[in-house]
Amino acid sequence: MNQQGSTRVENPQGFIHTGAGNIYVNGGPHQQDSDKPAFRRVAEDQLRWLRRVLVNPPGMGKARAMLADTGTVILHGAPGSGRTAAARVLLRNCRRDSGVFHELLPGEEDELALHDPALVGTGDQLLLDLSTADDRQWSAAQADLPALRKSVHEQHAHLVVVMPHDGTLDPDLQYYRVDIERPPGRQVLRRHLRIHGMPYEQYMRSDATVDEFVAVKRPMREIADFADLVRRARETARPDEEFAQWCAAAKRARNDRRKEVAARVAGLREAPQRALLITVSMLHGAHADVIHRATQLLLRTLASPSDGLPLLQHKDLAERLTEISAATGPSGHVRFTELDYDAAVRAHFWDHVPDLRPHLGTWAVSVVDLNDPHVTSAVRDGLVTRLAGQYLRTGRGDGLASLAERWSIEATSRARLEAAVHALTCGLEDPAHGREFRARIYQWCAHRHLRGEFAQVLVRVCADVLAASHPDQALLRLYYLAWHEPEPGPALQALDDLVAGSRRLRRRLLDRLARYGPSAPDLGIFLRVCDPAPLTDSSETARALVEETEVQRSLTTCWHAVLAGLPRATWQPHAARWLHRAADDTAHRGELLLDLLVSAAEQCGERRGEAFAALYASAREAERTAPGGPKHSVETTELLMHKISVAQGLGPATRPSTSARGTQP
């Protein structure tokens, strides 16, 4: 679809269309789950929409049964058959509270290998789209699939692989293969029209344009695009026009209009005429007041001289719009009289007036900043989307990325930050440029000194866009952003929110923090994400994170660095949370928390006595703030003291059976 979702900097709950593949998103409202992170709601909204418009292709039932029975299905189908859409819907139907959707990207920078067990979390829904892979990539992926399938089985996850159409599948994997065939084109078109709100009595009647369109076997994306054209033709049609006219307008919009637009531009010799033509194409559907002000801004941006005529001798806007085949509707919004004429105009000026390109970015952000009630978020997003579309259409992703960075550095308003976020979102969503933008964002986050408000923009892009389908990549980028924050801020909050939704991601972050010897910024991140509640929670699996050997090693390493390198006032509140959790948890997991703290202090070498004393003092302080009352906290302090004595060789290893101090702190 041509309509883009919107991204709000101040509200991470806004709807966003993310990811590549056969997903066609309508910007209509969906019921939101306010208690879930934004990136989880985004992914679920996308998949919910896709599930509504998908016509189950032949083979879908067999694929569903295979996935339910084995946890794995390998889809094979011709390009355009809807195989990727089918894969996403299959995973949507497997969604559980304990897992996240994750699109695997083997070979990309900082991505885990397919055979790495850390790639799969409990209940995850994994998509491995290799529909465009070459022979080398497909062969390498097949070699790793047995190990990946083993991890999927152990974690009760689900994996859907989309294999290349001309790929050869290993005999050991043939059992999991299901062939997906193209569903009937007319049925697909009608489903999209129905979801778009088209009257049943209209789209069910016979129509010559529709008959001609569905007579050709077309990709599912092309059918969806045509349905969207029919929808937009209906929205701009006269009251006396019906389905046949809407479809005819959609058909005309699919024609190549390059010569037509070139002839139109050649006949418009004056700068104000061309400025108006460009403005209407970039702000198509905006209110006439916005069109007028934006046209004046474009002329100023291009330093076009004034004609010097008195105001009342100027042509009025209605006359000027007629000259470019546009008009103002009853609601005051301006559109070209021909459907999708705006796209042809944009392409013409971008391709044939290259010196105009750098000025369009400056002009666009000045329009975004306009203080006008008609300059709504939809108008701003539409303008950025259309400008980004020209950069991406012509392979100039670097130019779009630089533009978003410049807007963020020069930002004096929230609207500019929103525009920068939306520009980067367009790049990430583009199938041809998504990988480039993911890599560029990595370089920004890891290796660049970010000026202005660009770090805030990258936080929102990582948390609300990238995390929806590539949470591992979002994790690493947010880690770097949090690492560079001068004090705990939005990056650390977003990182904390991200790992809160996934045991696997929390495990991976802890491993990252501990692996290279925690630095001072690492310790700040660790104290934020070492919440003992998710570490000891076993509601989704038989074993809690704190019971895993590798997690214990990471926690001990980080706590050792904290005790050795930070003042007690800094880590005391976090240690108190561990002690309170240990007091509340009557199972062995609570005692494990104490063991890890003591083990961390024991590694402090010559300063271990100081570390033990600091832990004991912290336990005494924690007794006064224990939410469950002092009794269990006093017992926890005694148990901690016993473990410290054992570690120092000062007492028996036998655990004390009762409290000798009663309930007084």
14 pLDDT more than 90: no
The pLDDT of residue 539:
78
Which residue, 246, 219, 308, 231, is CA-closest to 272?
A: 308
Torsions phi, psi of 592, nearest 5? -60, -40
Domain stop point among 375, 396, 421: 375
| Residues 613 and 542 grouped into a single domain | yes
| Residues 174 and 63 grouped into a single domain | yes
The pLDDT of residue 475:
96
Tens of pLDDT, residues 512-533: 999 988 999 999 999 999 999 9
| Residues 221 and 173 grouped into a single domain | no
Tens of pLDDT, residues 548-560: 999 999 999 999 9
34 pLDDT more than 50: no
Q: Per the domain annotation, does 422 fall within a domain?
A: no
55 pLDDT more than 90: yes
| Residues 275 and 370 grouped into a single domain | yes
Tens of pLDDT, residues 168-190: 999 999 999 999 999 999 999 99
DSSP state, residue 56: P
Q: Per the domain annotation, does 12 fall within a domain?
A: no
| Residues 618 and 580 grouped into a single domain | yes
Domain stop point among 126, 154, 180: 180
> Average pLDDT over the chain, rounded to whole?
87
Mean pLDDT confidence for 456-480: 94
Q: Per the domain annotation, does 35 fall within a domain?
A: no
The pLDDT of residue 424:
97
| Residues 242 and 265 grouped into a single domain | no
Lowest-confidence region among 68-77, 128-137, 450-459, 626-635: 626-635
Mean pLDDT confidence for 565-579: 94
Q: Per the domain annotation, does 654 fall within a domain?
A: yes
Give the residue carrying structure tokens 């993310």: 18
What domain count does the chain have?
4
Tens of pLDDT, residues 130-172: 999 999 999 999 999 999 999 999 999 999 999 999 899 999 9
578 pLDDT more than 50: yes
**Of all residues in the chain, what percent carry a pLDDT higher than 90?**
70
Task: Grade residue 409 by pLDDT with cuts at 50, 70 and 90.
Answer: very high
Which residue, 93, 82, 164, is CA-closest to 125?
A: 93
Looking at residue 75, which CATH number applies to its domain?
Answer: 3.40.50.300
Q: Is 658 exposed, middle or buried (0-12, 13-18, 19+ CB in 10 A)?
A: exposed
| Residues 233 and 263 grouped into a single domain | no
| Residues 241 and 275 grouped into a single domain | no
Domain stop point among 324, 351, 375: 375
- The strand pairing partners of 125, in sequence order, are 101, 158
| Overall residue count recorded for the chain in this entry | 665
CA atoms of 91 and 126, how far apart (whole Å): 7
| Residues 288 and 358 grouped into a single domain | yes
Mean pLDDT confidence for 32-41: 47
- For residue 348, the enclosing domain spans 258-375
Q: Per the domain annotation, does 393 fall within a domain?
A: no
Q: Per the domain annotation, does 525 fall within a domain?
A: no
CB 92 within 8 A of CB 227: no
Q: Per the domain annotation, does 555 fall within a domain?
A: yes
Task: Grade residue 27 by pLDDT with cuts at 50, 70 and 90.
Answer: very low
504 vs 111, more confident: 504
| Residues 78 and 156 grouped into a single domain | yes
Mean pLDDT confidence for 331-337: 94
41 pLDDT more than 60: no
Task: Grade residue 2 by pLDDT with cuts at 50, 70 and 90.
Answer: very low
CA atoms of 360 and 357, how far apart (whole Å): 5
The pLDDT of residue 87:
95
569 pLDDT more than 50: yes
| Residues 333 and 273 grouped into a single domain | yes
The pLDDT of residue 101:
85
DSSP state, residue 340: T
Task: Grade residue 328 by pLDDT with cuts at 50, 70 and 90.
Answer: very high
The pLDDT of residue 43:
58
| Residues 576 and 558 grouped into a single domain | yes
Other C-beta atoms lying within 10 Å of the C-beta of residue 80: 16
374 pLDDT more than 80: yes
DSSP state, residue 661: S
Q: Per the domain annotation, does 306 fall within a domain?
A: yes
**Helix, strand, or coil (residue 439):** helix
